[in-house]
Amino acid sequence: MTATSILTVTPTIEVTDPMTIKVIQWATGGVGVAAIQGVLAHPDLELVGCWVHSDAKHGKDVGELIGGDPLGVAATTSKDEILATEADVVVYSPLVPNDDEVIALLRSGKNVVTPVGWIYPNPERVVGIEAACAEAGTTLHGTGIHPGGITERFPLMASSLSQRVTHVRAEEFSDIRTYNAPDVVRHVMGFGGTPQEAYDSPMAGLLSGGFKASVRMVVAEMGFAAGHDIRTTQEVAVAAKPIDTPIGVIQPGQVAARRFHWDALVDGEPVVTAAVNWLMGEEDLDPGWTFGPEGERFEVEVTGDPTVLLTFKGLQPESVAAGLVRNPGVVSTANHCVSSIPYVVAAAPGVKTYLDLPLIAGRAAPEVGR
């Protein structure tokens, strides 16, 4: 038998010896606050600035904004002030991304890490961003959790354990009562409204950009014959009885659960699927959806020889009350951004996805680290 030698070429990126990397946080929503906490806990990072949307937060110490001790860093609503601040990277986490803001940050000499897009962008969509990166020698990296990790990074890693793969699935099962953003849950996600209002809400469109990009990354990297069109489907379940939730009582007939699927198809059959199941608990739903016996979780399944199933626990809180205080899914999204910072700073200029960067790792706690 003749052995075949396989040469694997890894990206020529080196994370240099630890140095202080100066970080600016853009926006202080749930992910933003968790990102600041992550930067403060990271041995190689230093927070040097923070942009906020609210005038009420302008001038306040960032430590106060996150419920901690003063840090000596004042928040600002001035984008010009942020652009003028000397920093290596910006963690960009607004509710809705803005290309012009990102281009300005990149042109100012700052790398950008973000959980709100650019996970696997169409090259035609990032011509201006690539030009800004080339001009200033900076890098943009899109990351997150779902999408931004569960949907593409981890499925691709798991797929290396199988051959003859026919289907890749990444799916979330979460109690949306733990998501402490009532206006978003009600007015953007469409919970508590009529089914038609939910179907007409912008949620599917807002989600589709990221999830479709994740599906396309897996399709392209694994060599599926699926085209660029991704099938999007959504379903709703309504309250069968009044359901008490953090956004108020959801009355019978109002939306109390939502499901979304994004499928890449070959001959009409799904080959790559990203899915979301968001429920206001498991009681009094019509239809009677549940999380199943496994409970809340994220799943990654690669159907092949052999079939591999990964279950991620710990990214959902232990209770609704705990989630409203600190939601592990939100924290993990921020951590994925923060952990990538040293690798992004060390990367060549341009838009870099998981396919362009080496393995990203977290850092040891101070009490057990070097």
Residue 128 three-state SS:
helix
Region 144-148 average pLDDT: 95
Give me 78's structure tokens. Answer: 């001035």
* Angle, vertex CA 266, rays to CA 273 and CA 147, nearest 5: 20
44-60 pLDDT, tens digit per residue, is: 999 999 999 999 999 99
pLDDT over 90, % of the chain: 88
With bands split at pLDDT 50, 70 and 90, how would you rate the model's confidence at 218? very high
According to DSSP, the residues that pair with 305 across neighbouring strands are 163
Average pLDDT, the chain: 93
pLDDT tens-place string over residues 219-248: 999 999 998 889 999 999 999 999 999 999
Q: Can you give the pLDDT at residue 13?
A: 53
Q: State yes or no: pLDDT of 128 exceeds 90.
A: yes
What are the DSSP calls for 225-286, one per residue?
---S-EEEEEEEEEESS-EEETTEEEPTTSEEEEEEEEEEEETTEEEEEEEEEEES-SSSEE
| Lowest-pLDDT range of 5-19, 68-82, 293-307 | 5-19
Task: Report the phi/psi class of residue 259: left, alpha or beta, with left for phi > 0 and alpha for psi in -120 to 50.
Answer: beta
| Predicted pLDDT at 176 | 96
Closest CA to 173 of 298, 302, 329: 298
Domain chopping of the chain, boundaries: 21-144+331-351, 153-314
Mean pLDDT across 173-198: 93
pLDDT (tens digit per residue) in 343-360: 999 999 999 999 999 999
Does residue 74 contact residue 61 with C-beta atoms inside 8 Å?
Answer: yes
Claim: this prediction has a pTM higher than 0.85: yes
The pLDDT tens digits of the residues spanning 14-33 come to 554 457 999 999 999 999 99
Phi, psi of 329 (to 5 degrees): -65, -40
How far is residue 78's CA from residue 12's CA, in Å, rounded to a whole number? 37
CB 188 within 8 A of CB 252: no
Give the 3-state secondary structure of residue 350: strand
Q: What is the pLDDT of residue 2?
A: 43
Which tens digit of pLDDT belongs to each residue from 250-288? 999 999 999 999 999 999 999 999 999 999 999 999 999
Architecture of domain 21-144+331-351: 3-Layer(aba) Sandwich (3.40)
pLDDT of residue 370: 83
